[in-house]
Structure 1
Amino acid sequence: MKTVQEGHQVSPFNEERYRLLIDSITDYAIYMLDPKGHIASWNPGARRFKGFEESEILGQHFSRFYTEEDRLDHLPERALRIAAAEGRFENEGWRVRKDGSRFWAHVIIDPIRDGDGQLLGFAKVTRDLTERRNAEADLKRSERQFEVLVQGVSDYALYMLDGKGNVSNWNHGAERIKGYRAEEIVGEHFSTFYTVDDRAAGEPTKNLATALRDGRFEGEGWRHRKDGTRFWAHVIIDAIRDETGELKGFAKITRDITEKVEAQKALTVAREDLFQAQKLEAIGQLTGGIAHDFNNLLMAVLGSLEILKKRLPDDPSLMPLLQNAIQGAERGAALTQRMLAFSRRQELHMAPIGVAGLIDGMMNFFERSLRSDLTIRTDIPDSLPPVLSDAVQLESALLNLVVNARDAMTTGGTVTITAIDVHFAQGDDKLQPGHYVKISVSDTGEGMDPETLARATTPFFTTKGVGKGTGLGLPMVQGLTEQSGGRLSIDSEEGKGTTVSLFLPVARLEDCPEEKKPASDLSAARPKERLTVLAVDDDALVLMNTSLMLEDLGHTVIEAHNGREALAALARTDTIDLVVTDHSMPGMTGSELASEINRQWPGLPVVLATGYAELPPGEDDRLQLPRLPKPFSQNQLADVIATMLGSAS
């Protein structure tokens, strides 16, 4: 074979060396074409991946390697013209093997000329790039799939930053969470999403520096949307480097976890509320138990003082002391009523109450409770429907609120009592839908800060000085309203005063059983004959006191310290006319004793003495037991006996 290089003919020795070199190459098809494109030589590389033996292909036109489409498009002829005209042709495309299969080829065609520039033919080099092309196709397909995946994620903002922190791409999740379209935000610095305070503190720069130093930054904080609203974000920033370690940018993942954080806060509040409720329940149970025991002590003290007052001579030097002791015991009894109201164990005498009449009747009490620099005004429509509650306890609650209002106004002011008719189509966690009367007591005093307001109804919490408040006033009022089926609300602001409102349900006739009227003339109501009364109480002091009061009324008393002893006493004699029993006793309660008496001795009257309503549901309604509220006086004891005997006759 003769070749020409730089106008010089190659020697046979060098020609042989070139042939050996070309024949040793198997990864490239290297062969010669004549000026018309016919194959003039064929190397092993051409034979390996085109499949033709040299004897089969020499003299054939090289266009046979092209696809039908390329031949129809005259690509082979055009390739030779370009090579001849421009000195080189290079491209990639599909080529066909002997067996008809295709491969992706990289092709170079160089013209071969002699020293005079006469075209002798073409040198053609072909390389099979099918594997590389398939790998590139796989990579592109993977990239497309990854892009589809990234764009399909809507719960996360996934986007890239360049090395300076500018946004370089943007997925649909980022658009949904942050509100920016890609064309609005690509090219902008990612600090746009940070709050003003965070930008001023250099947080964006610090976060990128951490990612650059450690390879990763992770944190949480407030971020801004396009519309200016804020959301709580969980953020991850990863530094992206190439195989040489050069920084290419940052991958940023942002998740809106506002709902999760709010849910966690709500759970924390719920747990705190549950803890507070459990604590209040424990305090309530403790308070109720203490009040019950204190009632028993007051029962013994007041009863003994009453008997002593009747039996002592009218000595001016002794009577004031005795009266002072009685008043002290009565104040203790009032305190137990507050404690029982707080613990929800006080027995309420539910009845319809005219709010206007009740408040009008208390005005003298209210005015005497206020200082001279304070005024009181009311706005109570006469047309208000009656509410269902305990009149005595409601009076105590309103007086308590007026006194609290007085103490909140240290430099004069006005107490305002109002009442309005309200309807609730929808209730809340403490109030059922329905018809209510809202009674409000307002002052123009100091008001409360949020922390004090939050603790206002906490038992034993008080802002008054030592010895000036028990901290049970507002809890007692709250207990009354909730036992009545209503709700207490407090509105207060520092420097603008406080308004405490009681929402009490409007009374219905079916909710209000007819009250039994006590005998007004005690001497006329008292029976002339002596009765035999069985007194039952597990507290020896109370039992002795009850017996003394009954004996002083002229009755014969048989004592029993528990239900079993009482039943045994009844079994021994048939002369017992009346049973007066405590309710809260171990082993057998007073109501259980009354049930057994009703079964074995039907018609025998039983009076239940109790400091709070703790009877099993429905039992008292079935037995219709008359009640003596502890601590009771001798007159109250005489009244209930007279009432029972009067109804029996």
Structure 2
Amino acid sequence: MGARGTEGGGVAERPSVVIIDDSPELRALVGARLRASELFDVVAEGGDGGAALMLAHEHQPTLMLLDTSMPVLDGLECLPLVLAVSPDTKVVMFTGFQAAGLADRARELGATAFAEKSLPLDSLVDLLWSHAGDGPTPPRPRSRPLRLARGDDPDARDQRVLDEHLECYREVFDQATIGMATMTLNGSIVRANRALIEMVGRPSFNLVGLDYGVLTREHGDQLDDALARITEGGEDVVAFEHPVERENDVRTVRVTLTPVRDSRGEPLYTFAQVQDVTSELELRRSEEVFRLLVTAVKDYAIFMLDVDGRVASWNAGAEYIKGYPADEIVGRHFRIFYPREQRESGHPEHNLELALRDGVYTEEGWRIRRDGSTFWARAVITAVYDESGRHRGFAKVTRDQSEQRAHEEERRRALDQQAHLLAVTAHELRTPAAVIDGAVAMLRDGDDLDAQAREQVLEAMASSANRLQRLITDLGTASDVQAEALALTPETMSLAGALTTAVDRVHAAHARARITLRVDQNVEFVADPGRVGQALDNLLENAVRHGRPPVEITGERTAEGIRVVVRDAGPGVEARLADRVFERFAHAGPTAGTGIGLYLVREIARLHGGDASYVVDDSGRPSFVLDLPARPQIPRS
């Protein structure tokens, strides 16, 4: 515990503070500001709910700054436990979400105060001091204006740019046309966008802090199962459907849950996309009813079974889909259409039992043709009775859904990729935006920091700004590639100059990065300097952020043009990703990045007539290789 002098010459004990947040950059920034105020002793820091409990028990701090979304336990779950092990600790909840209902819920659980991460750091200091104990605020140490360079104060335009970075994710979230929500791992809504508010017909203050299961009309078990598959099963995308009632109208929505994980792969919270699929379902039902009336088309296999399940009739569509002529199949049991494991388990007979019990039974699954090939079928079995009510058999209608299933799988993959991109973009924007905002506030307001603290603030600010700029550039380029709108402007380039400049750019963002460069001199080639620089930046950034030092980059002349090799001392790419590491959205986990950096490296190389590859040499050392021709045929923009 530290101390500060009083007017009477005595010594008063400073309030002790424990900072809990999953972002080390944010912890460092807040800790530096609290220490600089000379009002508090920052006795410990932690990155998850488990650490919060241990540190509260060990230090019995005066104050705890507790993040809302964390691994192990989220802030709302952790809060009562912290107070149980350290009853005298005053807990201030710390969150990146703007939601009055969330603050009210935190206070109900025992929080002393609620602070948003967008709060200026001076205001955060005042807030913490106001809850630290009795008595007036001690005088602050005199502060001198802190400048980035002589005469280089940020002007209003620079501040607006930084503010736009801070609000970027919130605007994307709130203006989306589909419903979106951020929830804790237990399903409590901490943020909901306008589309979701309109979809469920509840005001925003009524949604924040609400268990999403309340909206599912007694289908909360589906939500519980989905969250368990994420937290316990490690799944990255889980979807389910449920009804929603609004103004005497019941709609059906599809919910897609994606976890945002920490660096260890532990889920921090869940990101939900909610889409109204009522029209889609109604259209599907209407189409099914209509087509069942058209018995002559080849798209449907329509035939009768007797009460024991033997084929009693056969139409042209059945022969076309299943491959059996009528004289070969009539009289045989319909179990022949099912895979062997289903035949052995009695699945076909069970389907007939369900149809007899309920009147009709519907399912989708694999079926076997006469030639042994498989297809994905949608089958409807209806129990048939005569006028006297006696059971006469079953009508069976089967349709080949293989092509539709392939389209649905492709659509699901696209939705999964979209969900991943949104979730990771949100994760990538949240922390650097908060760090930049806090750092600018400290530098602008003139805090008296020591040299080490000032260096930490500047490094955090530069690193975060670089992360934001790279994300914006990569997203824009990926969009151009997808739309086939990426134009190249080639010119003669120096290999040594291109590699040296790329290394300098990475050093500017990662001052402590250990990078060695070996390059053949006097080597020239023709390419688009901007796009080649982007590819080199992505390769080096990938090695610095996800590999181990030192990083080595080499450039040499080849018979076809030039070759650039980037390697580091790490183990390389996971085996499961090695064959698709350059594919769009391929990633090692939800927090490993957007999955588009290496994809852009390969696309830029191929647009130049070259290629990118991942190789492992005879010694087991992995490398990323970029090959470009000396003079490709590139259409000018």
Q: Which TM-score bucket, shorter chain as reference?
A: 0.3 to 0.5
Rg bigger for which structure? 1
- Higher RCO (CA < 8 A, seq sep 6+): 2
TM-score, L = length of structure 2: 0.37
